[in-house]
Amino acid sequence: MKLFIKSLSTLSLLLLVVGCNNKQAEQQMLKEAVAIESADECHLCGMLISNFPGPKGESVRKSSEQVNKFCSTRDMFAYYLQPENTRNVTQLFVHDMSKMPWEELNDGHFIDAKKAWYVTGSSKRGAMGQTLASFSLEEHALAFSKEFGGEVYRFEEITIELL
């Protein structure tokens, strides 16, 4: 019985440490999203990012600490879904549109793009016309799609064909 209790205590401690490390890793990743400056151009199309409404995206590649910035989530996905980029991109960030007004850029609301929910086909427009509205919570994505139309998807469901 003592061995069982000791094993249980060790397991509990291990789970606590792993949980803390995951939280620290997530916080570290979010610190790497960078502000979008007024002169920043989209990595994919070259347009001035701050001139357009809607969610923006950022990516970080394995081989570089440089953050690539995108004028829309659609451009970010168009870049990321290219096979050579999918293998080499380590992090992706998007704006949480439940916290950021559509017309106002606010870099305080970046989230991990791979954990986000997306609405495609809504009536809201971004830099390249239709874009993917990004949300940290599914219920916010569903509420947005109810108000502005569109379908809700998880990150892994987004394909080139869907774009």
pLDDT score of 11: 41
The answer to whether residues 90 and 149 touch, using CB atoms and an 8 Å cutoff, is no
pLDDT score of 62: 86
Across 32-44, b (16+ Cβ under 10 Å) vs e yields ebeebeeebebbb
Structural tokens at position 13: 């401690």
3-state secondary structure labels for all residues of 56-81:
CEEEEECCCCCEEEECCHHHHHHHHC
How many whole angstroms separate alpha carbon 46 and alpha carbon 79?
A: 13
Within a 10 A sphere around the Cβ of 94, how many other Cβ atoms? 30
Going residue by residue through the chain (163 aa), what tens digit of pLDDT does each one get?
Answer: 544 344 444 444 444 444 545 555 444 444 478 999 999 999 999 999 999 999 999 999 888 878 999 999 999 999 999 999 999 999 999 999 999 999 988 888 999 999 999 999 999 999 878 999 999 999 999 999 999 999 999 999 999 999 8
pLDDT score of 107: 83
pLDDT score of 157: 98
Q: Where exactly are the structural domains of the chain?
A: 1-31, 35-157
